[in-house]
Amino acid sequence: MNKKAVVFTLLSLSLAALLLLVYGWTYEKGWEEAYDAEALRVQALGSLILDIEDFILLTLQTGTKSTLAAMTRHVESEGYLSPSTPEEAFQDCFLHAEIDGVACVHEQNTTMQHWMDLLVNQTNKSTGALLQYTIHNVTIRQEYPFLVDVIANITITLQDPAASWTFTKEYPVTVSIQGRTDPALQHVFGVRRAIAEKTPPPGGTWSYTQLQEMYAEGSYRERLNKSPSYLGRFAGNFSPSYCCGIETVLPSTLPISDKPSRSFTDHQIYTDAYYACGDQVYAITGFSDPDFQLDREHLVSFGVIPSLWSNSTCP
C-alpha cells in the first residue's frame, strides 16, 4: 500500500476532531444557556407584561363605565356640564375625580386606578418585580350611536434585577353605552333609565308595533342627524348629531307642561318644542297611553298610518 494514500483520512480525522472540539463546546455552552435562570426569568416577565396589557384593557373598560356613571350623578346634582365639554369632563373625572372643581364621585372600588393598584400589589408580591404605571391622559369620543371610543395614554414600568421594561402606549377600547343611565332623563325628570338599543326591523323600516315596544321598554333607537348623541346629553346639547343621534319616547305621565302641544320624544321635550295640537301633533288611536302624542315627522317615521292619528287630546 502506498503510504501517501492515507493523507485524506488523516486530514479528515483532524477536521473531525476540530469540528467536535468547536461545536461540541458550543453545544455544552448552549445547554447551559438554556438553563440560564436569568433568561427564564426574562421570559416569565415577558409573559407577565402581556397579561398586564390585557388587564389594562379590561380595567380601562370598567374605568370608563365607572366614570360615565359618576358623570351622570354629577349632572344629576350639579346640572349639565359647563364650562367643560363632555370630553374634558370625562378626562377630569377619570383621572382626578372632579369636574370644574366639583367632586365627581365614583362608586367605591370601581375606577381603573383601583384595579391597576390591585394589579401592582399582586405583581410586586407574587413576582418580586416592581411594577409602576402612570396614566397621562384619557380621551373619549363617539363615532357610532351606541358606542364610545376611549384611548388612554399609559406608561408602564417593570423593574427586575434580570431586566427592565419601560414603555408608553395608547390603549384603545370601545365601550357600549347600553346599560348606562341617560344623563338628561335623570337630570330633567329624575328618571333612571338604562339605555337599551331598539334595532330596526329587517329592511330598516320602523313600524307602529315597534313604537309600542319602544314605549313599553323605554328603549332607544338610532336617528342620525335628527337626534342628540349620548355624550351631548351630558352638556345639555340636544342639537342633532350626524354620527351618533339616538332618541327615546317618554310617557305622558311625566310632569310635562302643555301636554297637548308636545311631541313626546325625549329631545323634543328637553328643547321645549311646541306644536299645534291636531295639526302638527297627534295622539294615536288605541295606543296604551291615551295622552301620548307625536309630531307628524315621527308618526310617519314610525309608520303610524294617518287613520290612527287622533286629535282627541286637543283642548
Partner 1 sequence: MNAKGSYFYVVDAFIAGMIIVLTLFYLTQGQVSTTGDEDLFAAEKALSFIHGTDVRDYDSPTMRDLRNMSAYPLGQGSLLNYLAQIHYASTQGTPSAEDLLQNLSRDIIDDVVRKDYGASLRMGTDVLHTRRPEAEATSLVHYASSRLAYYQVNDTHIHGPHTVLLEVWR
Q: How far is the CB of 53 from partner 1 (least distance, A)?
A: 10
Which C-beta is closer to partner 1: that of 47 or that of 257?
Answer: 47
Which C-beta is closer to partner 1: that of 196 or that of 256?
Answer: 196
- Ordered strands of the 309-310 beta sheet: 293-295, 281-284, 309-310
Distance CA 195, CA 246 (A): 10
What single letter denotes the amino acid at residue 48?
A: L
Which residues pair with residue 108 across a beta bridge?
Answer: none
Distance CA 166, CA 151 (A): 19
Which residues pair with residue 194 across a beta bridge?
Answer: 181
Q: How far is the CB of 287 from partner 1 (least distance, A)?
A: 34
Distance CA 289, CA 218 (A): 13
In this structure, the strands spanning 281-284 and 293-295 are antiparallel
Q: How far is the CB of 31 from partner 1 (least distance, A)?
A: 7
Which C-beta is closer to partner 1: that of 107 or that of 217?
Answer: 107
Q: How far is the CB of 267 from partner 1 (least distance, A)?
A: 26
Q: Which residues bind partner 1 (CB under 8 A)?
A: 1-2, 4-9, 11-13, 15-16, 19-20, 23-24, 27, 30-31, 34-35, 40, 43-44, 47-48, 51-52, 54-55, 58-59, 62, 65-66, 69, 107, 109-110, 115, 118-119, 122-123, 126-127, 179
Which C-beta is closer to partner 1: that of 23 or that of 274?
Answer: 23
Which C-beta is closer to partner 1: that of 174 or that of 288?
Answer: 174
| DSSP state letter for 181 | B
Q: How far is the CB of 28 from partner 1 (least distance, A)?
A: 11
Which residues pair with residue 289 across a beta bridge?
Answer: none
Q: Which helix (H) or strand (E) holds 309?
A: strand 309-310
Q: How far is the CB of 254 from partner 1 (least distance, A)?
A: 27
Distance CA 131, CA 129 (A): 6
Which C-beta is closer to partner 1: that of 51 or that of 279?
Answer: 51
